[in-house]
């Protein structure tokens, strides 16, 4: 389980050289659950990845929504290795 917080100053109109802006932030919670673990196999592990993000309006890397947003994330993690 992990918890991440983000704080930023969002420049007006996303202007790179803009000095004025508005404060913003986000909170993310993420965790994983191992579905399969086989240390002696080529597929070493398979896990289910779950997360939630709540953010204010503004740019956050890897987040496609620029407006205020709350959402869930899910996916799978695959661990590979030699036998």
pLDDT at 70 over 70: yes
pLDDT value of position 19: 85
At 13 the three-state DSSP class reads helix
**pTM exceeding the 0.85 threshold for the entire prediction:** no
* Across 61-75, average pLDDT: 91
Q: What is the 3-state secondary structure (H, E, C) of 54-80?
A: EECCCCCCCCCCCCCEEEEEEEEEEEE
């Amino acid at each position: 389980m992990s918890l991440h917080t983000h704080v930023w100053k969002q420049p007006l109109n996303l202007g790179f050289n803009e000095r004025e802006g508005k404060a913003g932030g986000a909170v993310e919670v993420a965790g994983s659950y191992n579905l399969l673990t086989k240390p002696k196999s080529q597929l070493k592990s398979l896990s289910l990845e779950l997360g939630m993000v709540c953010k204010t309006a503004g740019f956050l890397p890897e987040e496609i929504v620029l407006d205020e947003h709350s959402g869930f994330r899910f996916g799978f993690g695959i661990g590979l290795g030699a036998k």
